[in-house]
Chain A
Amino acid sequence: MAGKTLYDKLWEAHVVRRDDDGTCLLYIDRQYIHEVTSPQAFEGLRLAGRQPWRPAASLAVADHNVPTTDRSAGISDAVSRLQVETLSRNCREFGVLEFDMNDPRQGIVHVVGPEQGATLPGMTVVCGDSHTSTHGALGALAFGIGTSEVEHVLATQCLIQQKSKNMQVRVEGEVGHGICAKDIVLAIIGEIGTAGGTGYAIEFAGSAIEALSVEGRMTVCNMAIEAGARAGMVAVDEKTIDYVRGRPYAPESESVLWPRAVDAWRDLRSDDDACFDRIVTLDAAAIKPQVTWGTSPEMVVAVDGQVPAPEDAGDDVKREGYTRALAYMDLQARTPITEITVDRVFIGSCTNSRIEDLRAAAAIAKGRRVADGVIQALVVPGSGLIKRQAEAEGLDEIFIAAGFEWREPGCSMCLAMNADHLESGERCASTSNRNFEGRQGPGGRTHLVSPAMAAAAAVAGHFVDVRTFESR
């Protein structure tokens, strides 16, 4: 019999019950909750007179609607304020732990969870948010769910699910200088397309993935959903174990449980003879800094490339998509990427707001200035703790001296539900994960890049190859 994949192992360990048609009742170890997709779930519980099955398995944090400027006066937008206050009220009523807006541990849910050790290897992790795939970087099975399912998990600690197929994306070799996790995952999406992972759980593997920090692996898994897969994951190795050690919600490293846990975690990898339904391999050395040009993450090219023309598309549907994207993005075919100027720069989001992302951006910003043509360059740390650490390292001063704005943690301009947004027609170099029409504000134009590339674009006023920039 063939061996098991990491996904097979995680899945099987959580099956409570399996019906004849393959439908499984799956136990959920951790549920994260945020303010946008949870109010109706709590309301549902209340209407049905139900209590959470295991309130301690849930952890809540407000992130989508919170202001990233001074919060002492609260939230001025009444609708956003109500949503955030409702989260707090629901958490109190149902006994769920919440990091509120003024808690230093507050931040983007997918940054906060791993940072607190609330996501552990071997867990099933869900959240009413598609980027829950991020947590798979720790060797967990993590995926986004809808609001009815949030309520279902609250009430039963389980979900009714069908198993996906197994896919492995291998990135082999060594990446070049200046290439980071974001470039790797954008290159993967460029290769397999935004529907390439549909119906699969993706395991990211290969020497270039192993070489990434756990934070970098989170960046890669974060965008699994942009490749169409609900879950992305990476096998556990020593880096994973080191990452988890000492975090507040992880088992204490002095306790008797720690060695037992570590032992179990070491098995969280695909067996050598495991069978995948699909394997895709990329050459790490061939990956260049990536920039998206269109309105879907798969519309991506290397920074030394050009905006494609509709006739480059493989089929009629794609050609039509290219034409529409070029019009929306106001770009001419064959324009060199480095000639595209930017109006705003956003460094943040659950993809790229961790400390190493801020360090990479600061290394470019140091001793330089945001270009005159750039209206605004925002740096939004992923959590209050990251903000503190960055300040301890003096990164805030580097950014501020260079003309960037240094903000409070939250989702911010990733989806523009708070005050941070693009005006119609503005063009943004963004480290977030979605470049859909209107994502950063109605009529706004988003180019997805790595943190270093975003900082370089801020300084140059247009996209530049970060490899030609000296880090300072």
Chain B
Amino acid sequence: MEPFKIVKGLVVPLDRSNVDTDAIIPKQFLKSIKRSGFGPNLFDEWRYLDRGEPDADNSQRPLNSDFVLNQPRYQGGQILLTRENFGCGSSREHAPWALLDYGFRVIVASGYADIFYNNCFKNGILPIVQSAAVIDQLFTEVDLAPGYVLSIDLDAQSITTPAGEVLAFDVDPFRKHCLINGLDDIALTLQRSGDISAYVERRQQQVPWLFAD
């Protein structure tokens, strides 16, 4: 996982609540065998006017010019601004994969669905929670100022707006440590390999039939 230090990026406003994972990446893309390549199909049903299929040439498809990702001023965004209960529905990990593949490293919202929130950290995305009032303010500011950029400092747990305003955010210390150091769960667990081996040795005595490989 890429270590997360400071992300300074263009903000893309997605002004909806309860965006579910099927909207983030529709189920036909679950047939893919890759973890990458979902970016062009992020928000597929909103982004294009036809129905997307895996392996189709997305560059030839008719775009929904109203959708925020298709507007010239929001190209190259790295920070997604949205509202309540983002990422609800099916537990598919393809949702954070699609967001990451598109280029989002940070989400700022007033709330997330549980599994999605966990899946973000497992994939190097920082989901930040802010109050509904702050979210409202950010939507207004983004709308008024094309090229609106936020600077996210994970170590300091701060968001800095273009006007220099600094907003604090909370993050679980363990998750922060993992993100900053680019540690994935597997690397962490492998640091415990001594414990695992000791456990296996003990269990092999107690229940040898479970280790008959």
Query: Quick one: which of A27, A36, A160 contacts B200, CB cutoff 8 A?
Result: A27
A140-169 vs B, CB cutoff 8 Å, 1 = contact: the mask equals 000000111001100111101000000000
A131–B200 CA distance with the chains assembled, in angstroms: 27
Identify the stretch in B102-110, B144-152, B190-198 within 8 Å (CB) of chain A at 4 or more residues. B190-198
B176-202 vs A, CB cutoff 8 Å, 1 = contact: the mask equals 000000000110011011011001100
Is B171 interfacial (CB-CB < 8 Å)?
no
* Chain A neighbourhood of B207, CB < 8 A: 122, 261, 264
* Chain A neighbourhood of B91, CB < 8 A: 130, 146
Q: How far does the Cβ of B155 sit from chain A's closest Cβ, in whole Å? A: 22
A53–B190 CA distance with the chains assembled, in angstroms: 10
A36–B54 CA distance with the chains assembled, in angstroms: 14
Query: Quick one: which of A27, A39, A48, A260 contacts B34, CB cutoff 8 A?
Result: A39
A27–B195 CA distance with the chains assembled, in angstroms: 11
Q: How far does the Cβ of B209 sit from chain A's closest Cβ, in whole Å? A: 4
* Chain B neighbourhood of A123, CB < 8 A: 210
| Number of interface residues, chain B, beta carbon within 8 A | 33
B33-46 vs A, CB cutoff 8 Å, 1 = contact: the mask equals 11100000000000
Interface range on chain A (Cβ under 8 Å from partner): 35 or more
Q: A43 and B209: CB pair below 8 A?
A: no
Q: How far does the Cβ of A459 sit from chain B's closest Cβ, in whole Å? A: 33
Residue of B nearest to A47 (CB): B35
A80–B33 CA distance with the chains assembled, in angstroms: 10
Is A65 interfacial (CB-CB < 8 Å)?
yes
Is B208 interfacial (CB-CB < 8 Å)?
yes
Q: B196 and A157: CB pair below 8 A?
A: yes
Query: Quick one: which of B33, B192, B210 contacts A122, CB cutoff 8 A?
Result: B210
Is A192 interfacial (CB-CB < 8 Å)?
no
A417–B31 CA distance with the chains assembled, in angstroms: 9
Q: A120 and B210: CB pair below 8 A?
A: yes
A156–B185 CA distance with the chains assembled, in angstroms: 10
Chain B residues 41-55 with CB under 8 Å of chain A are 54-55
A435–B31 CA distance with the chains assembled, in angstroms: 21
* Chain A neighbourhood of B97, CB < 8 A: 40
Q: B93 and A48: CB pair below 8 A?
A: no
* Chain B neighbourhood of A83, CB < 8 A: 31, 33
A130–B207 CA distance with the chains assembled, in angstroms: 27
Chain A residues 13-29 with CB under 8 Å of chain B are 16-17, 25, 27, 29
Q: How far does the Cβ of A91 sit from chain B's closest Cβ, in whole Å? A: 13
A86–B34 CA distance with the chains assembled, in angstroms: 10
Is A57 interfacial (CB-CB < 8 Å)?
yes
Q: How far does the Cβ of B184 sit from chain A's closest Cβ, in whole Å? A: 8
Q: B209 and A16: CB pair below 8 A?
A: no
- Cβ contacts A to B, 27 pairs, < 8 Å: A16-B195, A16-B196, A25-B189, A27-B196, A27-B200, A39-B33, A40-B34, A40-B97, A44-B35, A53-B196, A57-B213, A79-B54, A120-B209, A120-B210, A122-B207, A123-B210, A146-B115, A147-B35, A148-B123, A152-B186, A155-B186, A157-B200, A160-B185, A160-B189, A251-B209, A257-B209, A261-B207
Chain A residues close to B by CB (< 8 Å):
16-17, 25, 27, 29, 36, 39-40, 43-44, 48, 50, 53-54, 56-57, 65, 78-80, 82-83, 86, 120, 122-123, 130, 146-148, 151-152, 155-158, 160, 251, 257, 260-261, 264, 417
Chain B residues close to A by CB (< 8 Å):
30-35, 54-55, 91, 93, 97, 115, 119, 122-123, 185-186, 189-190, 192-193, 195-196, 199-200, 203, 206-210, 212-213
| 6 further A-B pairs in the complex, CB-CB below 8 A; given A36-B30, A65-B31 | A25-B189, A44-B35, A82-B33, A86-B33, A156-B186, A260-B209
